[in-house]
A and B are shown apart, each in its own frame.
Chain A
Amino acid sequence: MSTTEWEVVVGLEVHVQLLTEAKLFSTQPNEFGKDPNTAVDDLVAGFPGALPVLNEEAIRLSLVAGLALGADPQPRSVFERKHYFYPDLPKGYQISQYARPLFLGGRLRYRTGDGETRTCRLTRVHLEEDAGKTSHRAGESLVDLNRAGVPLLEIVTEPDLRSAADAADFLRELRRVVRFARISDGNMEEGSLRCDANVSVRRGSDAPFGTRAEIKNLNSFRFVERAILHEAERQVRLLRRNGEVVQETRLYDEGRDRTVAMRGKEYAEDYRYMPDPDLPAVVLDPAFIEEVRASVPRSPLDVWAEYTHQGVPDEAARILTDTWEVADFFDAVLALGADPRLVAPLVVNDVLPKLDHAWEIGERLRPDDVAALISSLGSGVSRSVVESALTRLLSGETDARRLVAEVADGQLGSDELDTVVTAVLTEHPEQVARYREGHAKLIGFFVGRVLQASPAEVDPRVAKETLEKRLNEEAPRRDS
């Protein structure tokens, strides 16, 4: 069903796990992938008598993020208790912020798929603790409290987004920002970045906002897009039949690719927010804010613009700015005088596909090695030599110049190759004749023979080029 005459209105609530060493109010480690319930102390387990002590590092990271998002740090913010019962919520309340968040306002510029730059306003940014995880299997439910108490930054947008794709583009840019700010790895698969979407539809952009439904816990860019798309279609279908959209919480069912309403009871919750009497208000010293402001990193969108300005294609620039590690690496290679238009394809096409995670680039490669590879390319070394040298660099060897020389040495020199080629052609006069009659496919046969006959490694592409040159240029020997 088409939704073209309808406008989709989306606001997001994005949860970003902060990369602190310890949890928000406990000294237990903030670490993904530990054995269940091994990052638990009396506070995390909600033991009687345990008290929260704020991790200052979380405030600093929040401040970096908030300032990077142009939000207004509030001189005084308050932690509150948000109450509900669930086995992975050990205290029976989540420590969050409500009436007085850490930040108000803010905005994020992002590029859409069509290459347009848009701005989405932020309502607020606040800090809270994560809950644990419950997993259900036949007859039992298991609780893991390792995630309980991990600091989460919640970023709430205004209803400024106008389509599912728009929301996903915004979210991708937001992920770049939190990565560039180095406050989160933004990893959706591990739950470091999660998203709730408020979706409504209206007839045209002048109509008042429709009633919204909230879709909870979207944990991939694809699901964000699919869920919003389906929810908008559902609402349009409903309204076309003169039905009414109910304000409710829904879940995206990935298997059936649609949204479903949560049980009535679960969303009729009254959280009974109350200022947490165990925690003093967070008072931000203006001098501290200014100190942190000085350390706020550049915006990934500005970096993107800079790269494209230097001649890097749009899409390559986008990939280079997906993580700060890659952008920093790219910059470091450029700082050595390399041409961005040559470095970008090498990094995007040759380096990144060989890494498990893009952020490893700085750990696996040195910028001067990449600069050396680029300069080898410029001085006529073949791509295949450079690629082999790169593979060896990524497997832990060092010194690109030496590796290029070694690879090149290991390969047959062009004179030697000529000798081999001559021998192969001489041995197979019939095939040569047939090739020259138009059986171009025979080139594969010759390449195979050359590779077999060669005493050293030969780049098949080079062998093919040499063979073709000889076969096409030389006068048929039969005549002589």
Chain B
Amino acid sequence: MTDAGRAPVAELVEMVVRGRLSARDVVESCLARISENDGEIRAFVTVEAEKALARADEVDRRIREDEGSLPLAGVPVAVKDNILTRGLRTTAGSRILENLVPPHSATVVERLEAAGAVVVGKTNLDEFAMGSTTDTSIFGPTRNPVDTDRTAGGSSGGSAAAVGAGLVPAALGSDTGGSIRQPAAFTGTVGLKPTYGRVSRYGLVAFGSSLDQIGPFGRCVDDVARVFAVIAGHDPRDSTSSREPVPELGPPSEPVNALEGLRVGWPTEYFAKGLDPGVAEVLSAVREHMTSVGAEIVELSLPHTEYAIAAYYVIAPAEASSNLSRYDGIRYGRRATHADTLDSLYLRTRSEGFGDEVKRRILLGTFVLSSGYFDAYYLQAQRVRRRIRDDFERAFEAVDVLLTPTTPTPAFRLDEKPSDPLSLYLADVYTVAPSLAGVPALSLPAGEAPGGLPVGAQLIAPWFREDRLLAVGAGLEAIGVGG
């Protein structure tokens, strides 16, 4: 049987649609791979084989009865466990939701299933997507398939590892300040954070609502493009979802053409101190490679970059503290026992239900929204956010895309995880600014650091120009960048 986990999505769909392979075959082999290999990696937190196979049979029936086009026919997909899946437990990695079985699916899941994809399971994440190692999950950390002593990154570490290990061809993650791009970089996979508003957030367990975006992981740019094409587009159930039309994303016949004459911005702030020399070297090689095929590298400045982390760690926790207010144990989820007053019910439910990192962010967020501090922190952070957005707007007057490292270092060892939260936060330095600006960004494998660890390059495009990111990404693959 064809190894569906290793075949590009396009080939897999072709085989399933032509009847050379049934969706059931594909899903069965995928489930077998998961049960064989995931014990060590622990990418998945929930796999329900029977449900997945029933879904696969439904796809096979739709193919037999010729029920319209199925652009993802039979493609097994892993879904991050903060995206609601009807009938399939959705925990957000938190004790407080450990037994939540949603009555409906997120828009993205509905769209994937309508396109013929089969959700095979839910993947690990940091609790409520707050973290960069999946270490804050109640299920414990996911391990990097490249080196199982190392982190797969986070918060979408489970999805990245599932794709990196070849357990599934594609997966969904969510990205608030780098939660798709950083684990993609750490696991040597491709991850896309779409423009804010491009993909519906309906059914995504909210963390930072003005930043959260769902996006795909894949092993190559084309796989990512195909999943993105299915999940993108306006959703009337999400008031922040954009009506901007999604352009055709067919694979270019000559991907390398996308690079010729391309103006590539090289923001100097992203190559300053703190950047691991191994990562810097890989990026320089990419730069030379691009120049050699006719791209023009333009060094430029995004002057407010240094304030991005501070602004992000005000805005995201503020929104998180608000979004997590609903978890009170009254209507669903875990409720503390032995509470004899309303206050103690709240106190115990939330004390027992949330982990330390989530509590830290609720405290931070509550503080910055408090009367007397709101202006100095929250409003000030919003002002910084506008400046950062202006930086990008100005940069895109001069260049077509920006090229940066995705992370300052490759994946670190799980036992070397920094103990103070601040240095973990600082590692988000390259991913949070595009999140604050709302621009789309793609992380793709750009090479290896000494020791064979994957290094990710981040491409950033203007708002709603995912098509450009994907074309340039395909071009880089075509000239052999990253592999």
Which A residues form the contact surface with B (CB < 8 A)?
A: 42, 45-54, 81, 83, 85, 87, 90-93, 141, 143, 270, 272-274, 277-280
Contact = CB atoms under 8 A, between A and B. Distances in A.
B205 A48 contact: yes
A54 B327 CA distance: 23
Interface residues of chain A: helix, strand, loop or mixed (majority): loop
B209 A278 contact: yes
Contacts of A143: 330
Contacts of B205: 48-49
A272 B330 CA distance: 22
A47 B331 CA distance: 9
B366 interface: yes
A278 B346 contact: no
B84 A49 contact: yes
Given A47-B332, A272-B321, A280-B239, 6 more contacts: A42-B104, A48-B206, A53-B236, A92-B324, A93-B322, A272-B371
Nearest to B333: A48
B239 A85 contact: no
A446 to B, nearest CB: 73
A51 B97 contact: no
Nearest to B330: A87
B71 to A, nearest CB: 25
B240 interface: yes
B100 A278 contact: no
Given A46-B326, A46-B331, A92-B326, A274 B201 contact: no
Contacts of A279: 239-240
6 contacts: A48-B205, A49-B83, A49-B84, A92-B322, A270-B370, A272-B374
Interface string B325-355: 1111011100000000010001000000000
Nearest to A81: B322
Contact of B100 (A48, A50, A92): A48
Interface residues of B, number: 44
Nearest to A84: B325
A275 to B, nearest CB: 9
A87 to B, nearest CB: 5
B278 interface: no
A47 B101 CA distance: 11
B203 A49 contact: yes
B291 interface: no
A105 to B, nearest CB: 25
Given A49-B202, A51-B201, A81-B322, A272 B369 contact: yes
B1 to A, nearest CB: 36
Interface string B364-408: 001001110010001000000000000000000000000000000
A1 B240 CA distance: 58
A269 to B, nearest CB: 10
B68 interface: no
A389 B164 CA distance: 86
B320 to A, nearest CB: 11
Contacts of A46: 326, 331
Contacts of A50: 202
Contacts of A52: 239
Interface string B89-103: 010100001001011
A132 B250 CA distance: 50
Interface string B206-219: 10111000000000
B106 A49 contact: yes
A90 B84 contact: no
A51 B100 CA distance: 18
B83 to A, nearest CB: 8
B18 interface: no
Contacts of B240: 277-280
A55 to B, nearest CB: 11
Contact of B326 (A51, A91, A272, A278): A91
A451 B204 CA distance: 80
B371 A274 contact: no
Given A91-B325, A272-B371, A51 B331 contact: no
B319 interface: yes
Given A277-B209, A278-B239, A51 B322 contact: no
B238 interface: yes
Contact of A92 (B104, B106, B325, B374): B325
Nearest to B128: A48
Interface in B36-81: none
A49 B204 contact: yes
A48 B239 contact: no
A48 B201 CA distance: 11
A274 B369 contact: yes
B237 interface: yes
Pick from B102, B321, B322 the residue with the most CB of A within 10 Å. Answer: B322
A92 B326 CA distance: 5
A46 B100 CA distance: 13
Contacts of A270: 370-371
Nearest to A48: B205
A46 B331 CA distance: 8
